[in-house]
Amino acid sequence: MKTGVPGAVLLNMAVYDVETVVVGAGHAGLAASWALADRGVEHVVLEEGRIGQTWRTDRWDSFRLNTTRWMSRLPGHAVADADGFFGAGSQTTAAFVDQVATVREELAATGRDPSGFRIAKRVYVTIDDDAARARTRMGEALDRVYRNFGLRDMAVVSVTGPASAVVAGVQEVIDAGAELVMFNPLFDDLEQMERVAAEVIPALR
């Protein structure tokens, strides 16, 4: 049955209450759905078209990932189908800790050798002796990157400040299980990477 809303359809189905709704069945929505199901949370996923509608048909004539398979798996499939896990830069270190714990549990459950399953994370980084300025500039840069996804106040996911603070922040990521760290400055790239190479990497354990 058609409704008064363009493109909307009223389904002939029972109506019931659900506390949790995931809007969109793209990569993030499917990952959120998996996490909810893994915790036994009843929920529903709403999508205007088919799964992955936006990136399948609404943005590009063709869609290809330019990253390796082990960077791009949905949660719940990384251990079964891939050879590693790559934590998103948009995730905090605390979230990465939880994700790594889940990966390791799955490795143990499936009997896979963890030494053959690489774990990595992207880290948004800014080195600046003025800690407040570093956080502000990175927050503004991250807002430009993620605002089209409806994400705000993303500075919390980054590692910024004087070199010593950046070393400490990146070391937390390594201690959480990252064997590979992708340093990602969002401005002054050459200067930032030179400082990472000279002041951060040599101090990491």
Average pLDDT, the chain: 83
Distance, CA of 161 to CA of 23 (rounded, Å): 35
* Closest C-alpha to 121, from 170, 187, 79: 170
Question: Which part of the chain is CATH 3.20.20.30?
Answer: 66-203
What are the two backbone dihedrals, phi and then psi, of residue 188, each rounded to the nearest 5 degrees?
Answer: 45, 50
> Residues 7, 48: contact at Cβ < 8 Å?
yes
Task: Provide the CB-side half-sphere exposure for 166 (13 A, CA).
Answer: 30
> Residues 1, 13: contact at Cβ < 8 Å?
no
Task: Provide the CB-side half-sphere exposure for 159 (13 A, CA).
Answer: 29
Answer whether 0.75 is exceeded by the pTM. Answer: no
Distance, CA of 197 to CA of 128 (rounded, Å): 14
Residues 93-107: pLDDT tens digits?
999 999 899 888 888
Residue that wins the pLDDT comparison between 16 and 174:
174
> Residues 123, 115: contact at Cβ < 8 Å?
no
Q: Which residue type occupies 91?
A: Q
Q: What is the dihedral of CA 153, 33, 41, 178, to 10 degrees?
A: -60
Domain 66-203 has CATH 3.20.20.30: yes
CA distances (Å), origin 97, targets 64, 83, 173: 29, 19, 8
Q: Which residue type occupies 199?
A: E
DSSP β-ladder status, 159-161 and 118-127: parallel
Residues 16-43: pLDDT tens digits?
677 888 898 887 888 888 888 888 888 8
Is the pLDDT reported for residue 52 higher than 80? Answer: no
Q: Which residue type occupies 180?
A: L
pLDDT-derived band at 202 (thresholds 50, 70, 90) equals: very high
pLDDT value, residue 46: 87
pLDDT value, residue 139: 95
Residue 121 CB partners (closer than 8 Å, separation 6+): 86, 87, 88, 89, 91, 96, 173, 176, 178, 180, 181, 182
Average pLDDT over residues 82-94: 88
Q: Which two tokens stand for residue 113?
A: 């050798």
pLDDT value, residue 5: 46
